[in-house]
Amino acid sequence: MTKRTLFTPYTLGSLSLSNRVVLAPLTRNRAGQGLVPSEFAATYYSQRASAGLLISEATQISRQGQGYQDTPGIYTPAQIDGWHAVTDAVHAKGGKIFLQLWHVGRVSHVDLQENGAAPVSPSALRAATKVFVNNRFEDVSEPRALDISELPGVVSDFRQAAANAIAAGFDGVEIHGANGYLLDQFLKDNANLRTDAYGGSIENRARLLLEVTEAVVSEIGADRTGVRLSPVSPANGVSSSDPQAQFDYVVEQLDALGVVYLHVVEGATGGPRDVAPFDFAALRQRFKNTYIANNGYDLDLATSRLAEDQADLIAFGRPFIGNPDLVERLKRGAPLSAFNPATLYGGGAAGYIDYPTLAESSVSAS
């Protein structure tokens, strides 16, 4: 039996991946006019196409779904065309790419909403977090609770966004159900105080995520649909009083829908892995398809988890920013380059597409 490593091929649904390294979604705030991916986006993603799978930056499904300035959308013809340039560039390098579908819910600001409207949320509870707007980080705005009559429209927006993603040439989509954004707000009981069919019980709080997933699966197929979850991450002010029971249930239902992968943030997003007690292996056991592990992975941890069959694929986020050839660097055991935090959010080519590969560094040093 071939030893499972980061560099062995993997079959994801109908896709053949060259390795088990995944580019995690990374918000870079560089969309252009009309929230179309910038002219540099095709270069940025194609530079990283050596990863087995690329997952795009979070991309809003509607104007209402936006929470940060200059993040791209997937709801207008111009946005679809802009993303097609990205997928064409990635595919030309032999890469595979999914689009992450995003509705931020209450993690937004009135200056980003149409006609200055209040952001929406399961309940009228303001999040203890900030968003990047007006070229700086500002406190989020006070949200309003979504009326139950509006929820079918949210589901429809996800469905249409998935169809648009396929039209833009993506190999599939990832439904963003993590990190304190809208679908996660419904899951977490400190953000969801509803007393209707979408609040209260574990089953009710999971209803919107599952309806969205079912709609996307029916539109583009289960083998092109993944879901991202963050059971215990406190990102954007969410928490759950019953995370194990909640997410055991969610994963069982996602498994029944046959989605191609589960992408799990293990611990606090971008922070410690042991932020709260949780049995991630239980999720792995409840899900028959691909498990993508995320958060704080390096080569050693990734190697051990793959060898122990605790994951199928490993997602890397920030290491990919300064290392477009991360796969090659990991394979060689080469040092990783740091990224410039000043160019992380917003701007142009600098700090986006100008990080050198190992080969380019060697040429410049000689």
Domain positions in the chain: 10-365
The per-residue b/e assignment along 334-366, b for 16 or more CB within 10 angstroms, e otherwise, is eeebebeeebbbbbeeebbbebbbbeeeeeeee
Please determine, for residue 259, whether its predicted confidence score (pLDDT) is greater than 90.
yes
Q: What's the confidence (pLDDT) of residue 1?
A: 45
Task: Answer for the pair 37, 59: CB distance below 8 angstroms, yes or no.
Answer: no
Q: What's the confidence (pLDDT) of residue 361?
A: 79
CATH architecture of 10-365: Alpha-Beta Barrel (3.20)
**Alpha carbons within 13 A on the beta-carbon side of 46:** 17
Q: What's the confidence (pLDDT) of residue 2?
A: 58
How far is residue 85's CA from residue 169's CA, in Å, rounded to a whole number?
9
Please determine, for residue 159, whether its predicted confidence score (pLDDT) is greater than 70.
yes
Mean pLDDT of 129-152: 96
Mean pLDDT of all residues belonging to the chain? 96
| pLDDT tier for residue 364 given thresholds of 50, 70 and 90 | low
* Out of 1-15, 35-49, 78-92, 279-293, least confident range: 1-15
pLDDT over 70 percentage in the chain: 98
Annotated catalytic residues are 181
Q: What's the confidence (pLDDT) of residue 360?
A: 87
